Chains A and B, each alone.
Chain A
Amino acid sequence: MSQKTATEKTLTPPPHTEPVVFTRDMLDWLPWIEPMAEQDMTERHLASLVDASRVKSPYFRLLARDPDVLEARTRTDKDIFYNPEAGLPRAERELAAAATSRLNGCIYCASVHARFAATYSKRTDDVQRLLDEGVGARLDERWDAIVAASVALTALPITFGPPHIERLRKAGLDDAAIADLIGAASFFNWANRLMLSLGVPATQG
């Protein structure tokens, strides 16, 4: 069923169960407005996905409606999180993403990045406590400093200040690691808003 023009009514998602707790489980995501149909996507739309496999994702096919910003967003995301050169270890970039998502209330984003944080840190129980108890959970001083800095960058008004940086330095982060934390927490203020506002998470199965 091809639908070349945008719907003027929001979509009614199929019957689903919305998760009511933060979880490391795999979730689905159901859009409230119409993603592009795969057969309607031009070369430009497909290239904007960066990873060809994302054509199966309704989230990315929806964002592909504005391909230039999707491609730039995706390449920003990948360098912030995947560039292994120096800076903050991957596990702690993911921790910042999970903490930001926990505070903003993005159950979908938190699920993905809590899984990554647990995988890369091997501290599954601590990651789960962040999900269960929220950003006030006590983990250890280094992780607490990272979570507190993510919270201060996410809050409005933004309360991030020199004391956060001093605490991060005492916990062993160098300037490049602190810049990575700023990038990761800030980026999730972008990602959370798209995920939260354009659709709804659903449990799988």
Chain B
Amino acid sequence: MASARDVIDTLVGIAPGSKLDAIRANRSEARKHAQASYASLFEPREVGGVAAYERNAIAAFVAGLHGEPRTIAFYAARLPTNLRATVAAEVAAASSKGPYGHFPKGPLSTEDAPGPTWKMSEAGRQALGARLAAAFEHTHMLVFHPRDAAAPALQALLDAGWSTTDIVTVSQLVSFLAYQIRVVAGLTTLASTL
């Protein structure tokens, strides 16, 4: 079942007939398929190897790391109550500024901005398990320092039990949210000036 309401419209508070509604209508395919991207990740036709609770937990973590209040509330609400505090504690410990990271060695090395490789707390690992812990650690890199990515990061996911196809789904989920959250932040700001 597709969501009845467009998530970006809902989070930004775009009313039918408003100026922003008309602007989004000029990019109706982008609007429709941003929503279809959301639906394919959070209401998939086939859940495949990435369980619904895993998708929701990773999403709540991504939203928390971005600090955009509307999306934080939206994705936290998808979590079971007992996981909300666990994810919030990991968000608090993992928060950083981005983007940082290294460039390939050479002329760009002068622009290297080293920063932490985050590891989940022992309490978080106990609550969420080794498989989600690996996904959260990968997620932190994707959110804050994606240019530090290298093959060993994917090997860590494979070793934690994520298949190649699962890795594609998780990577899309985190990366899609990096888009959706910025659209919500950007359009909310634009709406405030109209």
| Cβ A69 vs Cβ B24 within 8 A | no
B172–A62 CB distance below 8 A? no
Q: Find chain B residues with CB under 8 A from A73 CB.
A: 33, 37, 172, 176
Asked if B165 and A105 make an inter-chain contact with CB atoms under 8 angstroms apart, the answer reads no
Chain B binder among A14-22, A117-125, A137-145: A14-22
Q: State in angstroms the CA–CA spacing of A20 and B96 once bound together.
A: 26
Q: Does A54 contact B (CB under 8 A)?
A: no
For the complex, is B189 an interface residue (Cβ under 8 Å from A)? yes
B13 close to A (CB within 8 Å): no
**A156-B98 contact given A66-B172, A85-B26, A87-B26, CB 8 Å threshold:** yes
Interface string of A160-188 (1 = CB under 8 A from B): 11101110000000011011101101110
Asked if B10 CB lies within 8 Å of chain A CBs, one says no
Contact string, B156-171, partner A, CB cutoff 8 A, digits 1/0? 0010000111011101
B106 and A79 form a contact (CB under 8 A): no
| Cβ–Cβ contact B45 & A105, under 8 A | no
Q: Which of A65, A80, A176, A193 contacts B178 (CB 8 A)?
A: A193
* B29 and A160 form a contact (CB under 8 A): no
Q: Tell me if A105 and B103 are in contact (CB < 8 A).
A: yes
Say whether A26 faces chain B, with CB atoms less than 8 Å apart. no
Q: Interface size of A by Cβ–Cβ distance < 8 Å?
A: 70
**Interface locus among B78-86, B122-130, B144-152:** B144-152
Chain B residues near A6: list those with CB within 8 A: 163-165
**B1 CB to nearest A CB, Å:** 14
Is there an interface contact between A155 and B98, defined as CB atoms closer than 8 Å? yes
Q: List residues of chain B with CB within 8 A of the CB of A11.
A: 151
Whether the pair A69, B37 counts as a contact (CB closer than 8 A) is: yes
Count B-side interface residues using an 8 Å CB cutoff: 75
Complex CA distance for A164 and B188, rounded to whole angstroms: 13
B16 at the interface (CB under 8 A from A): no
Docked Cα-Cα span, A155 to B66, in Å, equals 10
Contact with B along A50-83 (1 / 0, CB 8 A): 0000000000001101101111110110111001
Determine the chain A residues whose CB is within 8 A of the CB of B167 once the complex forms: 33, 198
Residue among A106, A153, A155, A175 making CB contact with B194, cutoff 8 Å = A175
Q: Of residues 106 to 132 in A, which have CB atoms within 8 Å of B's CB atoms? A: 106-107
Interface residues in chain B, defined as those with a beta carbon under 8 Å from any beta carbon in chain A: 19-20, 23-24, 26-30, 32-34, 36-37, 39-41, 44-45, 48, 65-68, 96-99, 101, 103-108, 111, 141-144, 146-147, 149-155, 158, 163-165, 167-169, 171-172, 174-176, 178-183, 185-187, 189-190, 192-194
Residues of A within 8 A of B (CB): 6-11, 18-22, 32-34, 62-63, 65-66, 68-73, 75-76, 78-80, 83, 85-87, 103-107, 134, 153-158, 160-162, 164-166, 175-176, 178-180, 182-183, 185-187, 189-194, 196-198
Given contacts A19-B104, A33-B154, A156-B99, 11 further A-B contacts (CB under 8 A): A11-B151, A20-B104, A32-B151, A80-B30, A156-B96, A165-B189, A175-B23, A175-B190, A183-B30, A187-B179, A189-B175
